[in-house]
């Protein structure tokens, strides 16, 4: 009798030890009673009846999922390798366990296919210059499809876009051609503005003869400032005419 009582106490202690579970603030327990869903419990102290109740531990913290490089063919038929990072977390532990076998693997596979599908609809220039818009598109699609699994996709970031050497050289030549085009446009605009100003100055000087004479005198002053020994400067006809008219008078 003593041995039987001692055995019962030991068995009760073992069952109690197996029944008590402590869950952290960011953990939840999905409890099943004889195979049927019963409740989501936690955090804190949880008591589970061994053999009758089963539980699955779920972490509610944000998961950083690294999407491996994917071969993507853009809309303009350029082959690139793109990888990304997906940030998501479980918001409904019941659906995350019941609705999908492995929500981590399912989310990873869905992220890979969505990445290829979305980027394949855009050209290479958009892929390189509009990453923020593409990130939002991928995040929106993933979030809507994983909603049934009790998962919230909060952010998607495209990390790297790898191009082959031929495409890198082609992009470099395109960028150089674009810089040359802009330089030529700026130079042409400068020439146009300069010609307009020269035309305005010529029109003003033609209307006022004294302005032309002052311009000649200013030019003489500039030339006299140089270290030239001989200066040959044409004399305007109107100035000579005015001097001769004063002399005859």
What was the pLDDT predicted at 247? 54
pLDDT digits (tens, 9 = 90+) for 84-111: 999 999 999 999 999 999 999 999 999 9
pLDDT for res 95: 94
pLDDT at position 66? 93
Give the Cβ contact number of residue 72 at 10 Å. 20
> Which helix or strand (DSSP H or E) is residue 144 part of?
helix 131-146
pLDDT for 223:
64
Instruction: Note the pLDDT of residue 74.
Output: 87
User: 185 Cβ partners below 8 Å, 6+ apart?
Assistant: none
| Angle, vertex CA 58, rays to CA 54 and CA 64, nearest 5 | 155
Q: What is the DSSP annotation of 21-75?
A: EEE-TTEEEEEEETTEEEEEE-SEEEE--TTTEEEEEEE-SPEEEEEEEEEEE-T
Distance CA(150)–CA(242), nearest Å, equals: 99
CA 147 to chain centre: 25
Instruction: Find where tokens 């042409």 sit.
Output: 188
- What pLDDT is stored for residue 241 in this prediction? 57
For residues 31 and 55, the answer to whether their CB atoms sit within 8 Å is: yes
Which residues, given as ranges, of the chain have pLDDT below 50? none
CA neighbor of 90 nearest in space, from 164, 149, 142: 149
CA dist 199 and 113 (Å) reads 64
Q: How far apart are CA 125 and CA 239, in angstroms?
A: 65
CB contact set of 9 (below 8 Å; sequence gap of 6+): none
Non-local (6+) Cβ contacts of 171 within 8 A are 163
Q: What is the pLDDT of residue 240?
A: 55
Q: What is the pTM of this model?
A: 0.65
């Amino acid at each position: 009798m003593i041995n039987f009582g001692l055995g019962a106490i030991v068995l009760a202690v073992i069952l109690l030890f197996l029944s008590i579970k402590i869950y952290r603030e960011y953990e939840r327990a999905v409890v099943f009673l004889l195979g049927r869903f019963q409740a989501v419990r936690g955090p804190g102290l949880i008591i589970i009846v061994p053999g009758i109740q089963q539980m699955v531990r779920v972490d509610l913290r944000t998961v950083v999922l690294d999407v491996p490089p994917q071969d993507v063919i853009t809309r303009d038929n350029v082959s690139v390798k793109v990888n990304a990072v997906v940030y998501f977390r479980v918001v409904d532990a019941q659906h995350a366990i019941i609705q999908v076998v492995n929500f981590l693997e399912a989310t990873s596979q869905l992220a890979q296919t969505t990445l290829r599908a979305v980027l394949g609809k855009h050209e290479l220039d958009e892929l390189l210059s509009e990453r923020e818009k593409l990130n939002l598109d991928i995040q929106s699609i993933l979030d809507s499809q994983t909603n049934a699994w009790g998962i919230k996709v909060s952010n998607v970031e495209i990390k790297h876009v790898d191009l082959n050497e031929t495409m890198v050289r082609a992009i470099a030549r395109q960028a150089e051609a674009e810089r040359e085009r802009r330089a030529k446009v700026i130079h042409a605009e400068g020439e146009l503005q300069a010609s307009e100003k020269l035309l305005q100055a010529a029109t003003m000087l033609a209307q006022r003869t004294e302005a032309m004479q002052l311009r000649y005198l200013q030019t003489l002053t500039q030339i006299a400032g140089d270290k030239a020994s001989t200066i040959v400067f044409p004399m305007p006809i109107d100035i000579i005419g005015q001097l001769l008219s004063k002399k005859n008078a």
